[in-house]
Amino acid sequence: MITLTHNKTLTGSSEWEALEGHWQQIQPQHMRELFDSNPDRFEQMSMASCGIMLDYSKNRITSETMDLLFGLARAAGLPDWIGRMFSGEPINTTEGRAVLHTALRNRSNRPVSVAGEDVMPEVNQVLEQMGDFVQQLHSGEWKGYTGKRITDVVNIGIGGSNLGPLMVCEALGHYRIPDIQVHFVSNVDATHLVETTKQLDPETTLFIVASKTFTTQETLTNAHAARRWCLNSLQDDNAIASHFVAVSTNAKAVAEFGIDTNNMFVFWDWVGGRYSLWSAIGLPIAVAVGMECFHELLAGAHAMDVHFRNAELEQNMPVILALLGVWYANFAGAATYAVLPYDQYLRLLPDYLQQADMESNGKRVTRDGAVVDYTTGPVVWGAAGTDGQHAFYQLIHQGTQMIPADFIVPVHSHNELGDQHAKLLANCLAQTEAMMRGKSSEEAESELKASGMESDQIAALLPHKIFPGNNPTNTLLVDKLTPGRLGSLIALYEHRIFVQGIIWNLNSFDQWGVELGKQLANVILPELQGELPIGKHDCSTAGLLKYYLSLRAGKG
């Protein structure tokens, strides 16, 4: 039996120990005091790049904290790792792959080589192919099998082949092209496909089957069902060519499925699934908002890449965000991290970031395979403000856990309706202020007194009216949610994840943890279908299987 070694390199380092000691000094301090003692705190702890202003002054930090964190990043060799990622080194070591989503949006066209070959010509070629296809769809030149124009496009994919394009299509709702609707089907639960296709006409519907591997059970099951739905109506296998295209790295499997590889958009193994919206996986985005907007999205991400690659750590937005996350996860004991967009268009950003972050840094061993003795990726969650305020913010204000949170809000809205944007912004800023300041016992008591309450009532109510505050937040003010800004924002978070992976010494680009469930599902499926007897399982799983089978057999 192989025993895993434990890694003490990080936690035993002088940088780490200094930060542990420093948290002991910071912990008793309230952010109110930090603000009171330094009127320049905002100027000193805010920065802007790519149309995004980051205010990180409402954090439980001093300038010394940041210095210590930058020291930790340097000790981890961060600047060197940034260079290694951008230059196409195979830093995804367990899969032997480069990590080059940045090449997909490399608008400078600077050569980027993988194994000695410049990938940019291929990247640009696929962009052109996407542009031609989108033009044909929008102009009506691409026709369904019966000669009708395509009005609906359904993306069938899951994980990175769904969440990125879905989130971006929602986020760029303002830029949506009329006359063509884009839908997404991901869940293997047939309800997803059935409810989506209910409103559609097979003669005017085109499916994009999006799967990096083209082996994913959920996607292939839905794609086969969509194929049957199409053929039930069109009654001719030749119809498939007009109603199915594929996005994949696996041409053989695409051909086996029955999609003409001329109708296939390729990408490459150096694009991770959760980092793939910039590749042909972004095809539904280009269909929904047009190729021009897609190019702007890429350009915005590229601008953030340039910033990340070139800015000093002290002025580097993804680095600052990442280090603050490390501070709370590793030294202050925060187990979760909330993303709170004050923009309805960004309501799916938390879902997207869940995969991006948790699949990347939800790891328990280092790059060398040693078990870590520190916390890695936190639980990422969130929802659009102000809905969240009326749901879970109570726990942030008065619960027992510290929940570091990012508030994201645009300065200009696409929908300036009366004073609604001012109200949205007021709520956003009020929440960050409340989370920082809280309400002291004295403040709560004087409010209750002013309301004319009797002292025995005040005594009973007072503990419920106190807000401890001191909950850390970042505020990201985005000038306007254009395709370019959205690209910068997503790239900002991608690089935040990368930096944390470097500090934690993880391979952020594999995802072996999703395999076990897939393997076991393949064992259980034939048992559920009565093709094999129930095999060796724990008594819970076996009991559930038997109960299900007896009900399906009409015995319960």
Task: Tell me the catalytic residues.
Answer: 359, 390, 518
Q: Which residue in the set 144, 159, 438, 484 belongs to the binding site for ligand F6P (CB under 6 A)?
A: 159
**Which residue, among 309, 261, 301, has the nearest Cα to 278 in the 3D structure?**
301
C-alpha to C-alpha distance for 398 and 444, rounded to whole angstroms: 14
Our finding on whether 226 is near ligand F6P (CB under 6 A) is: no
* HEC letters along 250-279: CHHHHHHHCCCHHHEEECCCCCCHHHCCCC
Instruction: State both tokens at 409.
Output: 């809000």
Q: Residue 243 gets which letter from DSSP?
A: H
C-alpha to C-alpha distance for 293 and 296, rounded to whole angstroms: 5
Q: Is 372 helix (H, G, I), strand (E, B) or coil?
A: strand
Which is closer to ligand F6P, CB of 57 or CB of 511? 511
Span from 12-20, 157-165, 285-293, 329-337 in contact with ligand F6P (CB under 6 A)? 157-165
Q: Is 264 helix (H, G, I), strand (E, B) or coil?
A: strand
Our finding on whether 158 is near ligand F6P (CB under 6 A) is: yes
Least distance to ligand F6P, CB of residue 279, Å:
11
Which is closer to ligand F6P, CB of 15 or CB of 359? 359
Q: Which residue in the set 7, 59, 65, 161 belongs to the binding site for ligand F6P (CB under 6 A)?
A: 161
Our finding on whether 273 is near ligand F6P (CB under 6 A) is: yes
Which is closer to ligand F6P, CB of 153 or CB of 156? 156
Which is closer to ligand F6P, CB of 216 or CB of 505? 216
Angle at 178 between CA 173 and CA 183, to 5 degrees: 60
435 Cβ neighbours under 8 A, 6+ residues apart: 58, 396, 397, 405, 469, 471, 472, 473
Our finding on whether 514 is near ligand F6P (CB under 6 A) is: yes
Instruction: State both tokens at 107.
Output: 């608008």
Our finding on whether 160 is near ligand F6P (CB under 6 A) is: yes
Our finding on whether 213 is near ligand F6P (CB under 6 A) is: yes
Our finding on whether 211 is near ligand F6P (CB under 6 A) is: yes
- Contacts of ligand F6P in 253-272 (CB under 6 A): none
Our finding on whether 219 is near ligand F6P (CB under 6 A) is: yes
**Which residue, among 300, 298, 284, 273, has the nearest Cα to 355 in the 3D structure?**
273
Our finding on whether 92 is near ligand F6P (CB under 6 A) is: no
Fill in the per-residue mask, 414 to 453: x = in contact with ligand F6P (CB under 6 A), - = not in contact.
----------------------------------------
The DSSP H or E segment spanning 426 is helix 420-437
Least distance to ligand F6P, CB of residue 503, Å:
22
**Which residue, among 507, 490, 362, 376, has the nearest Cα to 101 in the 3D structure?**
490
Which is closer to ligand F6P, CB of 93 or CB of 440? 93
Our finding on whether 212 is near ligand F6P (CB under 6 A) is: yes
Angle at 467 between CA 20 and CA 47, to 5 degrees: 55
C-alpha to C-alpha distance for 18 and 387, rounded to whole angstroms: 40
Instruction: State both tokens at 129.
Output: 């192919």
Which is closer to ligand F6P, CB of 461 or CB of 514? 514
* 251: amino acid identity, one letter: A
Fill in the per-residue mask, 343 to 372: x = in contact with ligand F6P (CB under 6 A), - = not in contact.
----------------x-------------
Q: Is 248 helix (H, G, I), strand (E, B) or coil?
A: strand
Our finding on whether 511 is near ligand F6P (CB under 6 A) is: yes
**Interacting residues toward ligand F6P by CB under 6 A:** 158-161, 211-213, 216, 219, 273-274, 359, 511, 514
